[in-house]
């Protein structure tokens, strides 16, 4: 009789432990989902900050560069303006590449496809950016997969 009671007590303990383990596992899964969402929001915020601080401030401080990134204007052939366009193109490519990586790596951002569209738009409307990415595809592999072949 004592053996049966001991066995039933052990079985009851095992059942309670299993139920508690299941509840803990469910809570850990919920917390992981929350943490992933927070990481996604943080990654998206960092991408937006980088874009604003580099590209948009450059466009505000040097509005003469805008046609080279938004209106299909080919990059200048020489001079200081050529260098300024090249630096702005590199900065923009860096920002876009980081955004593509962050949103592709952290699905909780929910914005990867939007960034793909945004990058395609820039690559289609900025010969300077597209040429830079074509010249150095290893520097910006995500953008290199999106850029059209040279005309």
Q: What is the pLDDT along the chain (151 residues), one digit of tens a residue?
A: 878 778 778 888 888 888 888 888 888 888 877 777 787 778 778 878 888 887 888 889 999 999 999 999 999 999 999 999 999 999 999 999 999 988 888 887 788 999 999 999 999 999 999 999 999 999 999 999 999 888 7
Say what the pLDDT of residue 13 is: 83
- pLDDT value at position 103? 87
d(CA 58, CA 56): 5
User: In the prediction, which pLDDT does 43 show?
Assistant: 76
Per the CB < 8 A criterion, the answer to whether 85 and 128 are in contact is yes
CB atoms within 10 A of CB 32: 10
SS3 103: helix
Q: How many CB atoms lie within 10 A of CB 60?
A: 10
Residue 115: what pLDDT?
A: 93
Q: What confidence score (pLDDT) does residue 24 get?
A: 87
What pLDDT was estimated at residue 86?
Answer: 95
User: Tokens 């919920």 label which residue?
Assistant: 30
| Upper half-sphere CA count for residue 88 (Cβ side, 13 Å) | 29
Q: Domain residues of the chain, as ranges?
A: 39-146
Produce one character per residue of 116-144: b if its CB has 16 or more CB atoms within 10 Å, e if not.
Answer: beebeebbebbbbbbbbbbeeeeebebbb
pTM, 2 dp:
0.76
């Amino acid at each position: 009789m004592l053996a049966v009671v001991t066995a039933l007590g052990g079985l009851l303990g095992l059942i309670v432990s299993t139920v508690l383990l299941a509840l803990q596992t469910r809570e850990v899964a919920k917390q992981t989902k929350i943490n992933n969402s927070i990481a996604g929001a943080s990654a998206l915020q960092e991408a937006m900050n980088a874009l604003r601080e580099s590209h948009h401030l450059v466009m505000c401080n040097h509005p003469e560069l805008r046609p080279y990134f938004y209106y299909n204007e080919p990059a200048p052939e020489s001079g200081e303006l050529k260098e300024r366009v090249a630096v702005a193109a590199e900065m923009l490519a860096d920002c876009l590449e980081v955004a593509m990586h962050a949103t592709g790596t952290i699905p909780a951002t929910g914005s990867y496809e939007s960034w793909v569209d945004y990058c395609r738009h820039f690559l289609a409307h900025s010969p300077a950016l597209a040429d830079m990415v074509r010249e150095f595809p290893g520097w910006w592999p995500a953008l290199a997969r999106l850029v059209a072949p040279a005309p």
